[in-house]
């Protein structure tokens, strides 16, 4: 057993508004979920975890667990339900929550676009529309005006690559299209340009702000390392999924695969931290999301591969040096059989890597509404009874809380929480 020093990290959890709040029918994800067959269990994001009404309870529970940071989304469709019409009641509600989070000693990191946006924006074409980037930048400026006295850390856009492929390649996200390659390019170009312009706009309004992207990164390894086709496809998949968009959003340089260099974006740094969402790696034998055989897996059959976090973090940091924030990392574990071990393994490789990791945001706090998986995938350190909305801290939540309090994963915590924990293999 080993002692893992966590004193250099701020640790908390991450959420997305649509996945927890409930009650908002003005976003495109709610409309998509109401279409038969779109969501595994037929659920919609109403009521999700009912956080819109239970935010005080959740904030108090986060404080009890000793969380130091909290990544949350402010839902665009609540703030601006119709173009240029601001819902002051929603603004006041978010301000109350942010004030309470700060009063609890928890530092908020706010996401401006986490997969969801107003239906009116979608009706204009969404991120494939002609003025998508400009519309998003206006929203970003407004958010700083409304909340800048309470928030100075921002994620502009969450996982643009997942948003684009989910909605236009695999059909699992709205608008539910498949193999729409020209639209994927259009969407990624608009999101990258929107981020770069929003980065500049936020800093103009709030010079001391820290602004970045929550970028989904994964390893792409050849299923058969001796197969030259697998090796070529692994490199190609990695570049198309995450390499090209990284160049545009972090470095302001738009590769030809995305489109021409925008006249209003200059190459150069467009990040204050390296936000990484990391869950798994892909075994590549074709253009698909494959898995290696006989490896540790979670409930969604995703490989559990902690070392991959260091691989992608080093790859990103070598290109764009800066502080690293793990803006998401978690696992689907209905029985909470291995989540504590998953957390410990990822924190341990971070600490041992020598890379400048500053923060770890576990996905997620309370079991949420997990997009196309509905309520079937359990990612929370806090269990949710969907019928009653009651919360119950899981054993993994107790482990994370005690590790934060100790500033370390001690040998005693490993003996108490991890000794009997095993990953299942798939």
Taking only the tens place, the pLDDT of each residue in 98-127 is 999 999 999 999 999 999 999 999 999 999
Q: Whose CA is closest to 114, among 171, 156, 60, 58? A: 156
d(CA 45, CA 277): 22
pLDDT at 126: 97
Question: Whole-angstrom Cα distance, residue 314 to residue 321?
Answer: 9
pLDDT, averaged across the chain:
96
% of the chain surpassing 70 pLDDT: 100
SS3 at position 65: helix
- Cα–Cα separations (whole angstroms), residue 35 to 17, 77, 172, 178, 372: 20, 19, 12, 16, 11
Peptide bond connecting 56 to the previous residue in cis, omega within 30 degrees of 0: no
Q: Strand, coil or helix: what is 164?
A: helix
HEC per residue, 269-313: CCCCCEEEECCCEEEECCCCCECCCCCEECCCCCECCCHHHHHHH
Mean pLDDT of 46-63: 97
**DSSP annotation string for 93-127:** HHHHHHHHHHHTT-EEEEEEESS--BHHHHHTTGG
Predicted pLDDT at 286: 80
Q: Are 220 and 241 in contact (CB under 8 A)?
A: yes
Q: Tokens at residue 117, please?
A: 């946006």
Q: 1-14, pLDDT tens digit by residue?
A: 588 999 999 999 99
As a CATH number, domain 4-425 is 3.20.20.80
Q: What is the pLDDT of residue 1?
A: 59
Give the integer Cα–Cα distance in Å for 130 and 138: 15
Ranges of H-type helices in 275-417: 307-319, 339-353, 395-406, 411-413
Q: What is the mean pLDDT of residues 164-187?
A: 96
pLDDT of residue 289: 77
pLDDT tens per residue across span 348-393: 999 999 999 999 999 999 999 999 999 999 999 999 999 999 999 9
Provide the 3-class DSSP secondary structure of residue 82: strand
For the cut 80, the answer to whether the pLDDT of residue 288 exceeds it is no
> What are 322-352's pLDDT values in tens digits?
999 999 999 999 999 999 999 999 999 999 9
Burial 346-362 (b: 16+ CB within 10 A, else e): bbbbbbebebebebbbb
Contacts of 60 (CB under 8 A, 6+ apart): 104
Residue 42 has pLDDT above 70, yes or no: yes
pLDDT band at 299 (very low <50, low <70, confident <90, very high): very high
- Provide the CA 348 distance to its chain's centre, in angstroms: 21
């Amino acid at each position: 057993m080993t002692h893992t020093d966590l004193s250099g990290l701020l640790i908390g959890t991450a959420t997305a508004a649509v996945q927890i709040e409930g009650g908002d029918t003005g976003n495109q994800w709610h409309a998509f979920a109401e279409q038969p067959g779109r969501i595994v269990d037929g659920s919609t994001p109403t009521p999700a975890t009912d956080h819109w009404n239970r935010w005080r309870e959740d904030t108090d529970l986060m404080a009890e667990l000793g969380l130091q940071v909290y990544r949350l989304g402010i839902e665009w469709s609540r703030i601006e339900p119709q173009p240029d019409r601001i819902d002051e009641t929603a603004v006041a509600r978010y301000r109350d929550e942010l004030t309470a989070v700060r009063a609890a000693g928890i530092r908020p990191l706010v996401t401006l676009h986490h997969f969801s946006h107003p239906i009116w924006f979608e009706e204009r074409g969404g991120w494939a529309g002609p003025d998508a980037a400009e519309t998003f930048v206006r929203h970003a400026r407004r958010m700083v005006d409304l909340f800048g006295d309470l928030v100075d850390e921002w994620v502009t856009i969450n996982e643009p690559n997942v948003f684009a492929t989910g909605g236009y390649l695999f059909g699992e996200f709205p608008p539910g299209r498949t193999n729409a390659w020209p639209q994927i390019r259009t969407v990624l170009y608009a999101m990258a340009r929107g981020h770069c312009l929003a980065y500049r706009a936020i800093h103009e309004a709030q010079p001391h702000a820290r602004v970045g992207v929550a970028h989904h990164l994964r390893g792409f390894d050849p299923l058969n390392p001796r197969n030259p086709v697998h090796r070529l496809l692994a490199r190609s998949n990695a570049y198309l999924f995450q390499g090209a968009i990284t160049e545009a959003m972090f470095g302001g340089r738009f590769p030809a695969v995305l489109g021409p260099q925008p006249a209003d974006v200059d190459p150069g740094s467009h990040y204050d931290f390296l936000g990484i969402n990391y869950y798994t790696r892909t075994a590549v034998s074709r253009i698909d999301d494959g898995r290696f055989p006989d490896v540790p897996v979670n409930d969604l059959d995703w490989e559990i591969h902690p070392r991959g976090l260091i691989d992608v973090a080093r790859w990103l940091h070598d290109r764009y040096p800066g502080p690293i924030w793990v803006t998401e990392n978690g696992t689907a574990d209905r029985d909470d059989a291995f989540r504590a071990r998953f957390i410990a393994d990822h924190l341990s490789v971070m600490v041992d890597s020598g890379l400048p990791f500053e923060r770890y945001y576990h996905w997620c706090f309370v079991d949420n509404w997990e997009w196309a998986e509905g309520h079937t995938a359990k990612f929370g350190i806090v269990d949710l009874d969907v019928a009653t909305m009651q919360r119950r801290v899981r054993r993994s939540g107790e482990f994370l809380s005690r590790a934060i309090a100790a500033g370390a994963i001690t040998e005693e915590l490993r003996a108490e929480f991890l000794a009997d924990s095993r990953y299942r293999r798939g």
